[in-house]
Structure 1
Amino acid sequence: MEYQLPPHQRCACHLLNLVATTDASLAEAMNDTYKRLFCATFAKCQAIWNKTGRSHLASEVVEDKCGLQIIRPNATRWNSTCLATERIIRIIDEKGEDSIRGVCDELKVKMLSPAEVAFLREYSITMKPLMKASNILQSESSVYMGWLLPVIHQLLSKLNRLEISSKTCTPLIRALQNGLHKRFGQMMEDPELAAAAVLLPKFKTSWTDRADVIEAALTYLKQHLETSKNEGELQRESSDDEDFFSRPLSKTLPSPFELDGYLACASDNMELLHSFPAIKKLSLKLNTALPASAACERLFSCAGLLFTSKRSRIDSVNFENQLLLKLNKRFRK
């Protein structure tokens, strides 16, 4: 018996990480004005982050003058920089620039200029959709492979709208757009991934305006539904030959008409798939996988916490049971 593995699918969150770091850094080479403003702004922010991270007294000064603590970026997580910039903007909005100015005076670092504060605010707004897209795709519940293309298309749409109103971060937006097209361009043309999105009642055919992508997805679905229908008829004929008194099955809609009926339904609830058996079967096949490997990495992290040096002789069955209990403890009442 030959085993056929599904095609390799790269982790969407890792690709977004590359877009937000490697591709975003190319914006500095596009525009000298953006490069000078970016370097000056983040140099002052980095000075604040370094001071608050090295001294408890500095943290107390921030707490006293701002009422909030400064979030420090983490080199291993690109979105920590976005969270850190959002915290500075939040302090300025809620407490005023005098609070940050007082912190800078106490810590003896340079204060952000009004132009740099405006740049920091626009940078945070630009990177926020990318951060939200990553958070959606790295979830392990209510997210399927069919979410990948709708999320990427929506992300590109948001960046296009931001480009119209952007004043200082236009090079960054264009760098992010180029990075998304470079790393997800082949996926966006894949009819199987588009079909997976169509087979989710939440999206169907409304997630993109590209008629060629939807047409390729519908063609893919019709071909596979027809193939599964023919296979089902062959299996039914063989079972009829073996059982002389077999009863004919009740008539059901042909697969192409079943697809039309599914697309015509206004409901966006996953329960809709139960009304269309062939559609449900194909949706399970295409949407079982996750678009990112974050759930697997969390599983390995939990396994590392259980399988310590003092428990190295634990039985494999016992280890698997403990891991399942730890990961599914929220289902226990």
Structure 2
Amino acid sequence: MWNKSGRSYMAAEIVEDKCKLQLIRPNKTRWNSTYMAVERIIRIIQENGEDAIRNVCEEFKVKMLSPAEIVFLTEYCTVMKPVVKALNILQSETNTHMGWLLPVIFQLQTKLIRLETSFKMCLPLIRAVQDGVQKRFGGMMQEPELIAASILKNTWTERGEIIEAGLVYVRQHLDQMAEAAVEQVGQHSSDEDDFFSSMKSRRSQGTGELDGYLACISNKMDLLNSFPHIKNLSLKLNTGLPASAACERLFSCAGLLFTAKRARMNSANFENQLLLKLNKKFI
């Protein structure tokens, strides 16, 4: 059905007429294309009934999906939906930092555990995804640096034993920053005025900033400007997530522009067209 829907304009018009939506065809260049294609079929069935897909199958002379297959595809979409959302967050081109990694993985694991009791046909798929996530990210759940990055982004508030390890990491580094700041101030002042001045400053700046930051409800980045040591540590830990999704989107758009019939296009024209295509929302 996917293959025949893309062979001609007449086939596409048949799908549009019967289903009120076009089918999405899977491809090898997008990892989530299979999910999107299956999700579109389930959406058509939910909105227009099974007769819509049945009519398309009759026009294309292909076998209609059985009730068991429809149930399986429905479960597949439900199981893969949190996986798709998690990967979309981690592969986003903007506002994606290291502090999002562990919270996203934790939420994905939680959602998959909840799905175990609801589905039977896709239970092996759930177990396979869980095993893959645990194998790839299981060790990272115990790394204090990644936990601290999540804490400083205010994106993770569960699992107290893990959070405590991150808080210890944050306190240690804040104390080091406070000590360095006090030493710089001490070079320009005398200890004769207050013998314990350095200890007081370090305690108030290190622990006080962390307590004040965690007590804030706001999740806006501007909040960091009120806590200079927290801000410096957050900039150090919350680096951008390394992902090739943005580059792959660029290459994909470039391939759509530079076709065989446009082979004589010069590099400047090609670059300008690609720039406009990728930034059309600003035009």
- The alignment's TM-score, normalised by the length of structure 2, stands at 0.82
Against the structure 1 CA distance between its residues 87 and 311, is the aligned structure 2 distance closer, same or farther, given a 3 Å change threshold?
Answer: closer
Shift of 1:218: 0.8
The correspondence for 2:161, drawn from 208, 212, 215, is 212
Residues 100-124 of structure 1: CA deviation (Å, up to 9, x unaligned): 1111111111111111111111101
2:134 corresponds, among 163, 169, 181, to 181
CA contact (8 A) 2:152 2:234 kept: yes
Whether the 8 Å contact between 1:148 and 1:291 is mirrored in structure 2 is: no
Q: What are the Cα deviations for residues 7-44 of structure 1, in whole angstroms up to 9, with x where unaligned? A: xxxxxxxxxxxxxxxxxxxxxxxxxxxxxxxxxxxxxx
Deviation, 1:52, is 1.3
Deviation at 1:142, TM superposition (A): 2.3
Counterpart mapping for 1:90-239 below 5 A: 90-201=43-154, 203=155, 205-206=156-157, 208-209=158-159, 211-238=160-187
- Return the alpha-carbon distance in structure 2 between the equivalents of residues 49 and 231 of structure 1: 64
Aligned residue number for residue 212 of structure 2: 261
Determine whether 1:75 maps to 2:28.
yes
Asked whether the equivalents of residues 144 and 291 of structure 1 are also in contact (C-alpha less than 8 Å), the reply is no
List per-residue Cα deviations over 1:198-229 (Å, max 9, x = no partner): 0013x2x51x32x3321211111111111112
Distance 1:332 1:178, change over 3 A: closer
Structure 2 residue aligned with 1:87, among 37, 40, 60? 40
Residues 99, 329 of structure 1: alpha-carbon distance in 2 compared, 3 angstrom cutoff: closer
Contact 2:96 2:240 in 1 (8 A): no
Aligned to 1:290: 241
Alpha-carbon offset, residue 56 of structure 1: 3.0
**CA separation of 1:219 and 1:162: change in aligned 2, threshold 3 A:** same
Distance 1:76 1:330, change over 3 A: closer
Shift of residue 327, structure 1, vs aligned partner: 10
Q: Give the aligned residue type for 1:256.
A: T
More displaced stretch, 62-71 vs 168-177: 62-71
**Per-residue deviation at 1:82?**
0.7
Contact 2:83 2:108 in 1 (8 A): yes
- Counterpart of 2:178 in structure 1: which amino acid? K
Measure how far apart 1:302 and its partner are. 8.5
**Contact 2:102–2:147 at 8 Å: present in 1 too?**
yes
- Quote how far apart the aligned CAs of 1:77 are: 1.3
Using the alignment, how far apart are the partners of 1:63 and 1:327 within structure 2? Answer: 27
Identity over aligned residues, as a percent? Answer: 58
The CA distance in 2 between the partners of 1:121 and 1:261, in whole Å, is 46
State the aligned residue count.
Answer: 265
Q: Structure 1 pair 117/103, CA: closer, same or farther in 2 (3 Å)?
A: same
Taking a change above 3 Å as real, the CA distance of residues 328 and 115 of structure 1, as seen in their structure-2 partners, is: closer
Q: Is the alpha carbon distance of 1:61 and 1:124 closer, same or farther for their aligned partners in structure 2, counting shifts above 3 Å?
A: same
What TM-score results when the alignment is normalised by the length of structure 1? 0.70
Contact 1:137-1:291 at 8 Å conserved across structures:
no
Closer, same or farther in 2 for the Cα pair 1:187/1:293, shift >3 Å? farther
- The correspondence of residues 306-321 of structure 1 with structure 2, limited to 5 A, is 310-311=266-267
Deviation at 1:264, TM superposition (A): 2.2
SS class of match (2:93): coil
Q: 1:239, CA displacement in angstroms?
A: 5.0
Contact 1:53–1:59, Cα closer than 8 Å, also in 2: yes
Cα separation, 2, equivalents of 1:327 and 1:102? 37
User: What are the ranges of 5 or more consecutive residues in structure 2 without an aligned counterpart?
Assistant: 191-196, 259-263
Contact 1:140 / 1:290 at 8 angstroms: preserved in 2? no
Displacement of 1:187: 1.8
**How many Å separate the matches in 1 of 2:250 and 2:179?**
40
Which residue identity is paired with 2:210?
L
Return the alpha-carbon distance in structure 2 between the equivalents of residues 100 and 327 of structure 1: 34
Consecutive unaligned residues of structure 1, counting only runs of 5 or more, are 1-47, 242-247, 313-318
Residue identity matched to 2:238:
N
